[in-house]
Amino acid sequence: MSIRSSWLRRPFSGLLASLLALCLMAGTAWAQGGKTLRFVVGYPPGGSGDFVTRTVGEAIAGELGVTPIIDNRPGAAGNLATEVVIKSNDGATLLVASNPYINKALYKKLNYDVDKDLTPITLLGNGPMVIAVNSALPVHSIAELVAHAKKNPGKLNFASSGNGSSPHLAGVLFNSVFDVNIIHIPFKGGAPAVQSVIAGDTQVIYGTSPVVLPQVRGGRIRALAITTQDKSAAIPGIMGMKEAGQPHYNISFSFGLYAPSSWPASEVQRVFEAAAKVLQRPEIRDKLATQGMDPAPNASPADFKAANLREAPMWAQLISASGAKVD
C-alpha cells in the first residue's frame, strides 16, 4: 500500500509542478527572463502618442533590462490598440493611451470592459494643446477666430487625430464655450491631421504640441494660443487662454500606461517603479519639455486608477454635449 501510494504521488506532484510552471510562464514572460517588452499605441508614427511611447517606453524597457518593441496600431480611436493588448497572453505587452473612459462614453458598444480588462499603471506625461490655423486664414488671435467662425458658420473645419481623441474634444469644447460651429474632420493620427491644415483642406487644429510646434516653428501654420489658461514654460512665446482674454476655456492632453488585467500586481508594481524612475531623469524630462509636455507619474497604480475614474464623468459630459457617438 505504501508503494502504491508513493507511485501515485510522484506523477501527481509532478503534474502540479508543471501546471504551476506554466501559470508562471503565462503571466510573467518578461519578468521570468523574457527579452522584450511591447508597447502598443493607437496612433501612427509621427504623432504625440508615438513620441511619448518611444521616449518613455524605450527608457522603461532599458530600466527593466529588456528590449522595447514599439507597436503602432492606429484606428478606431485607439480601440484596435486596446484590444490587441487585452487579448495578448504573452505577459509582455502594455498599452500607451489617453483615458480609456473617453471611448467608453464615445462608443455605443466596445469589445472590452474598461473596468475589468485593463489595469492602470501610471500617467506618463501631459500638457496643453496648441490652437493653430492655416497660414492663409485671416485670423491672428482667438478673438478673431471666434469672430470669423461666427461670420462663416459651418464653413470652417478643424482637424483632429481621431474621434474621441483629446484634440477632438478640445474642438468640441471650443465650439461649446464660444458658441461657434467649426466642423470636425477626424484623421488617423496627429501627423496627417496637421498636414491637412498645412494643405488648407482643413483650417484649424487643436493639436498636441509634438505634432503642431514643429510646423509652427517652420512657419507652415500659425499658432494662436495654447488650450490651458496659463502659459507653459515648455511652450514659450505662445499665450495661454487667460492672456488671450478667454479664461473660460481650459483643456489638456495626457498619455498613460496600462496593462492587461491578467498581469499580477507584482509585475504592475515593477513596471510602475521603473516608469516613475525614468520620468525623473533629466534627459527624459528635457525630451518631453521640448515637445511641450511635463512628466506626470502618479503616486501609485491605485492613484492613477482613481484619477481615471475622477475624470470619466467630465469626458462623458463633454462627449454627450457634442452629440458625438460611434457605433
pLDDT of residue 20: 45
Q: Examine the domain organization and report whether 178 and 188 are in the same domain.
A: yes
Q: Are residues 159 and 248 in the same domain?
A: yes
Closest CA to 249 of 278, 218, 277, 227: 227
Q: Residue 70: inside a domain, yes or no?
A: yes
Retrieve residue 157's grid coordinates: 473645419
Do 122 and 158 fall within a single domain? no
What pLDDT shows up at residue 260?
Answer: 97
**Residue type at 71?**
D
Q: How far, CA to CA in Å, does 77 sit from each of 97, 205, 289?
A: 10, 17, 26
Last residue of a domain, one of 252, 285, 303: 252
Q: Is there a single domain that holds both residue 77 and residue 184?
A: no
At 31 the pLDDT is 57
How many domains does the chain contain in total? Answer: 2
Phi/psi of residue 152, each to 5°? -130, 65
Residues 154 and 122 in one domain: no
- Whether residues 122 and 138 fall in one domain: no
Alpha helix (H) residue ranges in 200-278: 209-217, 265-278
Q: Are residues 260 and 223 in the same domain?
A: no
Q: For position 325, what pLDDT does the model report?
A: 66
Q: Which among 233, 252, 271 is the end of a domain?
A: 252
For 155, phi then psi, to 5°, come to -100, -10
Q: What is the pLDDT of residues 196-210, one digit of tens each?
A: 999 999 999 999 887
Q: Which residue has the higher pLDDT, 12 or 309?
A: 309
Least confident among 147-156, 230-239, 279-288: 230-239
Which of residues 68 and 311 earns the better pLDDT score?
68
> Residue 52 falls within a domain, yes or no?
yes
- Residue 260 belongs to a domain with what CATH number? 3.40.190.150
Query: Among 252, 267, 288, where does a domain finish?
Result: 252
Does 12 fall in a domain?
no
26 in any annotated domain: no
Please check whether residues 50 and 92 belong to one and the same domain. yes
pLDDT at 32: 55
Range in 30-34, 59-63, 240-244, 277-281 with the lowest mean pLDDT: 30-34
Pairwise CA distance, residues 171 & 115, whole Å: 27
Q: What is the CATH number of the domain that holds 177?
A: 3.40.190.10
304 occurs within a structural domain: yes
pLDDT at site 326: 67
In percent, the amount of the chain with pLDDT more than 90 equals 64
Residue 185 in any domain: the answer is: yes
Looking at the fold, whether 258 and 247 belong to one and the same domain comes out as: no
Tell which residue, 99, 124, 133, has the closest CA to residue 212.
133
Do 161 and 187 meet the contact criterion of CB atoms below 8 Å apart?
yes
Residue 234 structural domain = 128-252
23 in a structural domain: no
Q: pLDDT tens for residues 136-155?
A: 999 999 999 999 999 999 99
For residue range 246-275, list pLDDT tens digits in order: 999 999 989 999 999 999 999 999 999 999
Q: Is the pTM of this model over 0.75?
A: yes
